[in-house]
Amino acid sequence: MDVEALRALARSLACEAGEQVRAGRPERVEVAATKSNDVDPVTDMDRAVEAQLRRRIAAERPNDAILGEEGDDVAGTSGLTWVLDPIDGTVNYLYGVASYAVSVAVVAGPVDPERWTALAGCVHSVVDGHTWTAARGGGAERDGRPLRVNRPESLARSLLGTGFGYAPERRARQGEVLAHVLPRVRDIRRLGSAAIDLCLLAEGGLDLYYERGLNPWDLAAGALVAAEAGAWVGGLRGRGPGSAMTVAGATPVVTELVRLLEDADADGAEAPAKGAEG
Ligand code: IPD
Ligand code: CA
Ligand code: CA
């Protein structure tokens, strides 16, 4: 498997899509529809960019499968799947907050982050043009510069990235977990794009990261970038990274974070949030 060729294709796809997002963003972005609930938006741009990515992949890699946030699964025969998030950070895109990205990855095996083997990926940050790529065993880089994660001296000195889901009951639980974590770290950042969070971690802009509820397309490229930059990337209770929990950072401090999240039952049951509408 030529993972460097796959990395080059992921980069070309993500950068071209990023140009489409940059050039086409109207001054006021409208919400075209909502998905899981009223605060989970989709814009015309999410749909247009994903459609273009799908056309390009069908032309360049007709035997590969496609899993994308905004469209139906496409079956393939090669055993490889392209995992697409046309805009990761759609709420930021909507409001004009700078942290949003195109995320493109290609994985082998089952289409499940806990079990797949990520081969290559690219996260292209639309506003500043930063482009992070990784190839399995070939390292991670940003715009040609090799990346290495920070080695924080302790949990207490670590800057921690995280994010929240769209469902009120999930957010209520995430707030409780955050209350347990926040007094024990340097500070937290909620930047609004899981893909960028994982790439910032890879280059030392964050020390640690965790989030519950990520979809495969949120983490496919970013988790590979983080891992290839030397991060441990996993879940709680011996599981792999995925929807139940994704944690990333350098050992041994990331192990302390995993323990803290396990103690807080961060992947535990979510009760309906009082007074919130779903
Ligand atoms: C979201 C972003 C956000 C994370 C959410 C994701 P979207 O993706 O990655 O940072 O906290 O869990 O759903 O909806 O903007 O593609
Ligand atoms: Ca996303
Ligand atoms: Ca998205």
Q: Looking at ligand 1, which atom is closest to the CA of residue 191?
A: 10
Between CA 169 and CA 277 the distance in angstroms is 9
Q: What is the structure's pLDDT at 118?
A: 98
C-alpha to C-alpha distance for 30 and 45, rounded to whole angstroms: 10
Whether 3-146 and 155-263 share one fold: the answer is no
Please write the tens of the pLDDT for every residue from 213-237.
Answer: 999 999 999 999 999 999 999 999 9
Q: Work out the end-to-end distance of the chain between its first and last CA atoms, rounded to an integer number of angstroms.
A: 45
pLDDT of res. 277: 53
Distance 194 CA to ligand 2 centre (A): 7
Local confidence band at 271 (pLDDT 50, 70, 90 cut-offs): confident
Pocket test for ligand 1, best of 218, 219, 243, 245 (most atoms within 8 A of CB): 218
Please check the confidence at residue 54 and state whether its pLDDT lies above 60.
yes
Listed by start position, the domains of the chain span: 3-146, 155-263
Give the Å distance between the CA of 98 and the centre of ligand 1.
14
Residue-wise pLDDT tens digits, 159-199:
999 999 999 999 999 999 999 999 999 999 999 999 999 99
* Contact of 43 with 31, CB cutoff 8 Å: yes
What is the Å distance from ligand 3's center to 103 Cα?
A: 9
Q: Which ligand is nearest to the CA of 166?
A: 1
- 272: confidence class by pLDDT, cuts 50, 70, 90: confident
Three-state SS letters, 176-187: HHHHHHHHHCCE
Query: At 27, is the pLDDT very low, low, confident or very high (cuts 50, 70, 90)?
Result: confident
The CATH code belonging to domain 155-263 is: 3.40.190.80
Best residue for ligand 1 mutational test, from 88, 93, 99, 103 (most atoms within 8 Å of Cβ): 88
More confident residue, 28 or 19: 19
Task: Supply the pTM of this predicted model.
Answer: 0.97
Q: What percent of the chain has pLDDT over 90?
A: 90
Q: Rounded distance, CA 34 to CA 49, Å?
A: 17
Q: Looking at residue 278, what is its pLDDT?
A: 46
What value does the mean pLDDT take over residues 104-133?
98
The class level of CATH for 3-146 reads: alpha beta
- pLDDT band for position 125 (cuts 50, 70, 90): very high
Phi, psi of 191 (to 5 degrees): -90, -25
Contact indicator for 213, 170 with CB cutoff of 8 Å: yes
Contact 165, 171 (CB under 8 A): yes
Cβ-proximal residues to 75 (8 Å cutoff; 6+ apart), any chain: 65
Rounded Cα gap, residues 13 and 27, in angstroms:
25
Asked if pLDDT for residue 103 goes beyond 60, the answer is yes
Q: How many whole angstroms from its chain centre is CA 59?
A: 26
- Ligand number nearest CA of 218 is 2
Mean pLDDT of the chain: 96
Looking at the CA of residue 197, tell me the nearest atom of ligand 1. 10
